[in-house]
Amino acid sequence: MAGPYPPEFGAGPAGPQTYPQSFPQQPFPPSGGPETAAQPYPDMGAAYPGMLPPPVQYKKRRRWPVIVGAVLALAVIAGLVAALVLADRGGDSPAASGALTDASAKAAIQEYLDALSNGDDETVARHTLCGLFDAVKERRSDLALAGLSSDAFRKQYSQAQVASIDKMVRSSPHQAQVLFTMNVTPASTTRRGQPRPQEQQAVAQLLAYDNDVLVCSYLPRTGQY
């Protein structure tokens, strides 16, 4: 092989060099030596010390207490739902103080109409302030507004009587919007004599507060007063 050799294998300045002598191979230990001999497994044939304990007898759980509890819970829930439904439908039945019913709504609206007809400005203001009347320190503007409403009402009607509660829409047990019919007598006379009473629908916003039912607003179908 021609050409230069690496210093460890080729010819150096001192002439050609031989390959380094290989190391002798180490003999492997015999397969039957103590290092590789298979170790015997421990004897697992020993008997269990003593007799085995008897099997444990578990008591069967009875399911009837769970079933009875579920039935009682369903009965309680059904009773609560029925109570809520009856409370919502109890418009014509006696209710707790301050609750909104057809009877309490009719009485409150009639009181408000009578105050308008009689010029009772304080009662009108107490209704329209919707529970704030006792806390208001300056009431002159409220009484003046109530007087204007009374004057406008008397110019249109000489008498007003609530005939029926046509519809009550409750936003809560203590708040409702009521459509009612009233029998009114026009204030102006005609050539044929006294005017005849006629029916007129109106809408009122009601609030049950502190054992009273207040008419917060009143809107006849022909105008607002």
216 in any annotated domain: yes
DSSP one-letter code for 135 = G
160 in any annotated domain: yes
Is the pLDDT at 53 greater than 50? The verdict is yes
Q: How confident is the model at residue 224 (pLDDT cuts 50, 70, 90)?
A: very low
152 in any annotated domain: yes
Residue pair 66/73 in contact by the 8 Å Cβ criterion: no
71 in any annotated domain: no
CATH number of the domain bearing residue 196: 3.10.450.50
Pairing of strands 212-220, 175-186: unpaired
**Per-residue pLDDT at 179:** 96
Higher-confidence position of 197 and 6: 197
Higher-confidence position of 48 and 168: 168
Is the pLDDT at 28 greater than 60? The verdict is no
With 0.85 as the threshold, say if the pTM is over it.
no
Is the pLDDT at 221 greater than 90? The verdict is no
Range of the domain at 176: 102-220
H-helix or E-strand spanning residue 212: strand 212-220
Distance, in Å, from the CA atom of 88 to the CA atom of 102, rounded to the nearest integer, reads 12
Residue pair 181/146 in contact by the 8 Å Cβ criterion: no
**Per-residue pLDDT at 46:** 53
Write out pLDDT tens, residues 84-141: 545 555 444 334 445 789 999 999 999 999 999 999 999 999 999 999 999 999 999 9
Higher-confidence position of 57 and 109: 109
143 in any annotated domain: yes
DSSP string, 152-201: HHHHHEEEEEEEEEEEEEEEETTEEEEEEEEEEEESS-BTTBSPPPEEEE
Is the pLDDT at 25 greater than 80? The verdict is no
**Per-residue pLDDT at 82:** 55
120 in any annotated domain: yes
Buried b vs exposed e over 48-61: b needs ≥16 C-beta within 10 Å?
A: eeeeeeeeeeeeee
**Per-residue pLDDT at 186:** 87
168 in any annotated domain: yes
Is the pLDDT at 146 greater than 90? The verdict is yes
**Per-residue pLDDT at 38:** 54
Average pLDDT for the chain: 75
Specify the number of domains making up the chain.
1
Is the pLDDT at 6 greater than 60? The verdict is no
132 in any annotated domain: yes
**Per-residue pLDDT at 87:** 53
Distance, in Å, from the CA atom of 221 to the CA atom of 131, rounded to the nearest integer, reads 25
Distance, in Å, from the CA atom of 105 to the CA atom of 125, rounded to the nearest integer, reads 18
Distance, in Å, from the CA atom of 225 to the CA atom of 102, rounded to the nearest integer, reads 23
**Per-residue pLDDT at 90:** 47
Write out pLDDT tens, residues 154-197: 998 888 999 999 999 999 989 999 999 999 988 876 566 666 77
